[in-house]
Amino acid sequence: MLQLPKVIGHRGAAAYAPENTLASFQEARRRGATWVEIDVKLTADGVPIVMHDDSLKRTTGVDRLVAETPRADLPAEVPTFEQAIACFAELGLGCNVEIKPCEGREVETAHLTVAALRRWWPASLPQPLLSSFKDASLAAAREAAPEFVRAILLGEIGKDWRSRADAVGAAGVNTNGAKLTAPRAVEIRKAGFALSVYTINDGDVARALVGMGVDCIITDAPDVILAALN
C-alpha cells in the first residue's frame, strides 16, 4: 500500500505563514512536517505555479485572474512550481501535489505539472503524491506519467468512489475529514487504498480520525497535529 507520512502541512503551514509560499514551506519544516500539500495551476503562458485560487486577489491583493496573468507579471510572493521544488530539495520535504486547474485547463495543467516533476523533482526526495478534484487531470497525469502515484480527491465520498479511483489508477483517497464516516474509512482501507483527510487543525479530531483508520492528516498546523498524535 502507498506509504504516506502521518501529517502533511496544508499549503505549507497555512496557520502560521502565507499559504503556498516558500515561507510557508519553511515554516512547515520548522514545525516538524516532513511533507507539504500545495496547489498547482497555470499562468496565462503555461507556467505551473503554486496558487490555490483562480484569482490572485485574496492572497496577493492583485485583482487579476491567474489564467490571464503571464509569468512575468506574477507577484513576487507567488512561487513557480520549479521554485517550490527547489525549496523542497533544500528542506528535504516531500509533497502532495494537488493539480488545481482553472476551468478548461484540466489536461494541460496535468501535463505541464508532471513534465515539471520529471524535469526537476530530485531523486533524494520521496516520490510525490499527485491528487486532484478533477478526474480528467488525474487521467491525463496517468497517461503522460504513470510513474507518479495518484490519489482521488473527494469533497464527499459517494457510492462511486471505487470506480472513480480505479478509473484513474489511484492508490489513495484524499477526502474532507469533517464528512468522513467510520464505515467509509474501513471500506477504503480494506480495499487497499491509503486514506488522507483535509483540513484537520484540532488534535482530538485528528486522533479520532486516526482511530478510524485514517493514514494521513493534512493540516494547517503540523506542530499541533504531530503533538496530538505522538
Give the shortest CB-133-to-ligand G3P separation in angstroms.
7
Question: Is residue 131 near ligand G3P by the rule CB under 6 A?
Answer: yes
Kindly state the helix (H) or strand (E) to which residue 38 belongs, with its residue range. strand 35-42
Beta strands (DSSP E) in 45-191 are: 48-50, 94-99, 129-132, 149-154, 172-176
The C-alpha cell at 92 is 528535504
Question: Is residue 98 near Mg ion by the rule CB under 5 A?
Answer: yes
**Number of neighbouring beta carbons within 10 Å of residue 44:** 17
95 versus 218: smaller Cβ distance to ligand G3P: 218
Partners of 132 in the beta sheet? Answer: 152
136 versus 187: smaller Cβ distance to Mg ion: 136
Annotated active-site residue 111? The verdict is: no
Give the shortest CB-122-to-ligand G3P separation in angstroms.
22
**Rounded Cα–Cα distance for residues 124 and 154 (Å):** 30
Site residues for ligand G3P, window 27-56 (CB under 6 A)? 37, 39, 52
Question: Is residue 19 near Mg ion by the rule CB under 5 A?
Answer: no
Binding mask 39-78 for Mg ion (x = CB under 5 A): x---------------------------------------
How many helices (H) does the chain have, and how many strands (E)?
9, 9
Indicate which residue of 6, 30, 52, 207 is catalytic.
52
Strand 194-198, strand 172-176: pairing: parallel
Task: Please list the active-site residues.
Answer: 10, 52
Residues that bind Mg ion (CB under 5 A): 39, 98
